[in-house]
Amino acid sequence: MRAAVRDVSFEMQPGMALGIIGESGAGKTSLALALMGLHDPDRVVLSGDIKFKGTNLLELSENQRRRVRGSGMGMIFQDSSGGLDPSMRVVDQVAEALRIHRGAGRREAVQMAFERLARVGVPGEILSVAPYAYQLSGGLCQRAMIAAALACDPDLLIADEPTSALDVTLQAQIIALLNERRAETRLGVIFISHDLALVSSFADEIIVLHGGEVVEHGSCLEVLRSPKHEYTRNLIAAWNYEDVQGGAKIAAS
């Protein structure tokens, strides 16, 4: 059996942003799905520990994991349009999480959902004329996904390539939105991307995955200033410094 990801170990603190970078096939999404318990149990075997607030998630039943998802942990998927049900109003999809995890009644949940969507830049005025995901732009769909992931105020958000389909302006807006939530609620964020410049503008620490293994792990400045692995040095050498959004330009050594 082939190991998609092996020997990965890290610890998150409240409000921390951890960037995970690597090329396609490095194991980034496999790691995210394992953390969320969304892997296929018939095809994937997990070993080790995944501890969330002191509880080993691998020891929980599926029903118990489902309660953790949404209330304690949220996830933004790469394909925002694919992550939203095209046959269901966007506001109802956000409200569903509030009914399941917060016990809100239908009317209350819908009202709360409208408020959460407005908070991330999807106002009710737009949803009144474009209530379904296929009627919204990619940027608005991604914001709606963020609203759904954050609806129940989780402690940890896993963002898997959340800006890959967006232009630079929208990428900056999504990063600003996540930073705002980190400041307001001490939200921890695992930000997964292949874009080193984007991750470096956001993360406190960086993990570099290559072939399913961690080849570099350290503070953002440590990894960028003193990369230890050849793969990391190659990533930095290919880095377009002009793409950095709000971060200091650091020469690779």
Concatenate the DSSP letters of all residues of 83-145 into one string.
Answer: TS-TTS-HHHHHHHHHHHHH---HHHHHHHHHHHHHHTT--HHHHHH--SGGGS-HHHHHHHH
| pTM for the predicted model, two decimal places | 0.88
pLDDT averages per 10-residue partition of the chain, 253 residues: 84 96 90 90 86 94 89 84 85 94 93 94 95 92 90 94 81 88 94 88 94 94 91 82 40 34
For the CA atoms of 145, 147, 148, 153, what is the dihedral angle to 10 degrees?
A: 140
Instruction: Give pairs for 244-247: CB < 8 Å, separation 24+.
Output: 244/197, 244/200, 244/201, 245/168, 245/171, 245/172, 245/175, 245/197, 245/198, 245/201, 246/172, 246/175, 246/201, 247/197, 247/200, 247/201
Provide the pLDDT for residue 172: 85
Residue type for 85, please? D
Overall CATH class of domain 1-72+156-253: alpha beta
Q: Which residues lie closer than 8 Å to 110 by C-beta, 6 or more apart?
A: 91, 92, 95
* Secondary element (H or E) of residue 233: helix 230-237
pLDDT at 24: 87
